[in-house]
Structure 1
Amino acid sequence: MRYASWRPRAGWSAASHAGRTANPENDTDKKGKKYAQAGIPYYLIVNPIEGKCLLYSLPSGTHYRALREADFGEPVPIGAPVDAELDTTVLYTY
């Protein structure tokens, strides 16, 4: 399956990506655009190299209107419909 033809299933509340950021533009721009277009409320990127989480929210067309950045160790609140808090104290850098 090619990424360009991939579409999320109805009812998704969040998408996430964890791993090395060898191509950060792909994670933030290309994937973020696709998820926002699909109306997925949250897109979370976990960067274990920098020890940061990026939570994009409020999709509008081809982009997200809000971004919350948190260092590992700080909680990341995720609003409705997920209504949860990501505990980043369990994450570690490498």
Structure 2
Amino acid sequence: MPVKADRPHMLTEEFEELAFTARNRMEGLQLEFIDGQLRSRALRDGSHGVVVQWLTRICMQHHPELWLHPGRGLKVQAGRNGRAIPDASLGHSAAFAGHGEWSDPDPVLMAVEVTSWNSDTDRRHRQEKPRVYAESGIPVYLLIDRAECEVSVYSEPDGQRYECVRTVPYGRDVHLPDPVGITLRTEVLKDWVH
């Protein structure tokens, strides 16, 4: 019998316990729980981290009251039964103060993913993540796709998907719509493809 979101192979509580144990026993291992299925996140290379730092600087320059929270675990999907870990989540500086390992996505203005060099990038970053972030009501999803040398901005979530998607190649400016309201100059991303 195939695993489906309505028939997961484990309960959300069981996943949270497994993810906690894995993170504490295996350095760098992060687990996600999407559509009732267990997913492991690939280890990030140095350029991946530099891309997140670059975006952090830009966000702080435009919105000093906000912070790009790295690796914040979010309760996603309908019923908040899924668990995802965006590379970064834009929200007020104290948005997650007092929260445990997994937070409601309500304070998140933008979820950010930077692709890694793994075989499930297409399914995870280009298919699953836009859907689960839209289902969760996150206003903007930013995908910095190092494999395709493109930046995709997803906006206007309708509860199932993002109604607006804009993709530009590295080197072209792209606007992050409100509530973010920043224009990114993406030329520098060409330096961090590998």
Whose relative contact order is higher, 1 or 2, with alpha carbons under 8 Å and at least 6 apart?
Answer: 1
Q: Does 1:22 align with 2:51?
A: no
1:16 CA drift (Å):
1.1
Task: Count residues with an aligned counterpart.
Answer: 94
1:8 CA drift (Å):
4.5
After superposition, the Cα gap between the structure-2 partners of 1:85 and 1:30, relative to the gap in structure 1 and judged at 3 Å, is: same
| Structure 1: 4+ residue segments shifted above 6 A | none
Q: Which runs of 5+ in 2 are unaligned?
A: 1-18, 20-30, 34-81, 84-102
Q: Does 1:3 align with 2:32?
A: yes
Verify the 8 A CA contact 2:174 2:183 in the aligned structure 1: yes
Larger deviation, residues 7-16 vs 51-60: 7-16
What amino acid does structure 2 have at the position aligned with 1:3? E
Counterparts in 2 of 1:1-94, with a 5 A limit?
1=19, 2-4=31-33, 5-6=82-83, 8-20=104-116, 22-23=119-120, 24-92=122-190, 93-94=193-194
Percent sequence identity over matched residues?
Answer: 26
Greater strand share, structure number: 1
After superposition, the Cα gap between the structure-2 partners of 1:8 and 1:44, relative to the gap in structure 1 and judged at 3 Å, is: farther
Instruction: Report the TM-score, using the length of structure 1 for normalisation.
Output: 0.86
1:28 CA drift (Å):
2.0
What SS does the corresponding residue of 1:50 show, helix, strand or coil? Answer: coil
- Aligned counterparts of 1:72 and 1:17: Cα–Cα separation in 2: 15
Instruction: Report the TM-score, using the length of structure 2 for normalisation.
Output: 0.45
Larger Rg: 2
